[in-house]
Amino acid sequence: MKRNDLEKLMVGVFSDLRPNAYVDIDTKIKEDLNLDSLELFSACIEIEERTKLEVCKYISSEIITINDLLEEITQKKRSKFDIDYSKYPKKKDEKKLSKILKFLDKTYDVRVSGIENISDKKQLICPNHESNYDPFMVLLAFYKNNISMDNFCCFASEDVWNSTVLKKAFDILGAIPLFRNDNTSLALKRATEVLSSDAPTKFLIHPEGKRTRDGKLAPFKNGAQKLSEETNTEIVPVCINGTFEVYPYGRKVPKVFGHHVVEVKFLPPVKDGEMSKVREAIKAEKSVYKKNKLA
């Protein structure tokens, strides 16, 4: 494809995402169009499908404008962050994972409810994000209720991969790296592939994008909704309470002494994947938890 034709196609794809915005080759993708990672990923996938060129692998934090992306594609440079995503998620180390879950079960008073909302089909598991403990608490809920952990998967951010201890734990868990400051498109593409398989995958994604800093529910991003729509996967909202108190953002070592209650409640699935419904369901449950705690 000629460069001019590719330029017109790319501008058209990004214009379709923001029909009310003026878009040209110098438009700043994130600043001017305010695209989130999933929207950028969707645009890259559409360009790939229409041109048969590789696009996703060239996304990086250095890409500012549509022209920057065009240059990367035509010159075939690689992102400084180069991971073979086909190797993820890695096979779980069941023996080590079992030890982690038994430790959590013994250390904390973990109360699980709504487990009947977990089916034998693929589902997006969407909890609020209080702590790095959250994916493990969800998996512990599965473990305590004899639900298979074989097809459980999640993302893990740079905070995790930059920590020796957390990296080992999330490797055991079977996580896919998601570096927010570099190329998220490849991780999202891999997640789409995993969810598009015939396996009854349980893919955990936090709609808030990152851990709460103050214990309050943050605004939800649309990433999970787009994954839901693209892979025809229902969303199960999950309300987690208590992990912020024992392992909040900024704390290097979690609290392990004393009696600490952690609640994991699986709510009825949201079939259409609409994130406003997911957030409202979790928000309502957190309000009930807060009232009960104050009573």
pTM here is 0.76
pLDDT band per the 50, 70, 90 thresholds, residue 217:
very high
184 pLDDT tier (thresholds 50, 70, 90): confident
Query: Please, which residues have CB within 8 angstroms of residue 44's CB and are 6 or more apart in sequence?
Result: 55, 56, 59, 185
Looking at the DSSP bridge assignments, the partners of residue 292 are none
Q: Quote the pLDDT of residue 76.
A: 67
pLDDT band at residue 116 under the 50/70/90 scheme? very high
Please state the three-class secondary structure of 226-243 as a single string.
Answer: HHHHHHCCEEEEEEEECH
pLDDT band at 181 (very low <50, low <70, confident <90, very high): low
Predicted confidence band of residue 80 (pLDDT cuts 50, 70, 90): very low
141 pLDDT tier (thresholds 50, 70, 90)? very high
Higher pLDDT, 223 or 129: 129
Which of 40-49, 96-105, 160-169 holds the top average pLDDT? 96-105
| Residue 77 banded pLDDT, cuts 50, 70, 90 | low
Region class of 209: left (phi > 0), else alpha (psi between -120 and 50), else beta: left
Q: Say yes or no to pLDDT of 81 above 60.
A: no
Residue 180 pLDDT grade (very low, low, confident, very high; cuts 50, 70, 90): low
The CA dihedral of 226, 266, 91, 234, to the nearest 10 degrees, is -30
- In this structure, what token pair is assigned to residue 73? 């594609």
* 155-184: average pLDDT: 79
Domains and CATH numbers, the chain: 3-75 (1.10.1200.10), 85-294 (3.40.1130.10)
pLDDT score for 182: 60
* Digit-coded pLDDT (tens) for 229-245: 889 999 999 999 999 99
Q: What is the pLDDT of residue 24?
A: 95
End-to-end CA distance of the chain: 67
- Percent of the chain at pLDDT > 90 equals 56
Q: Looking at per-residue confidence, does 32 or 163 come out higher?
A: 32
Q: Is the pLDDT of residue 226 over 90?
A: no
Return the sign of the alpha-carbon dihedral for residues 243, 244, 250, 254: negative
List the beta bridge partners of residue 154: 175, 204
Q: Which of 74, 75, 80 is closest to 59 using CA atoms?
A: 80
The H or E element spanning position 160 is helix 158-161
Query: What integer pLDDT is reported at residue 23 of this predicted model?
Result: 95
Q: Return the bridge partners of 240, or none.
A: 264
Q: Count CA atoms within 13 Å of residue 34 on its CB side.
A: 7
Q: Is the pLDDT of residue 134 over 90?
A: yes
**For all residues of the chain together, what is the average pLDDT?**
89
The pLDDT of residue 79 is above 60: no
pLDDT given at position 99: 92
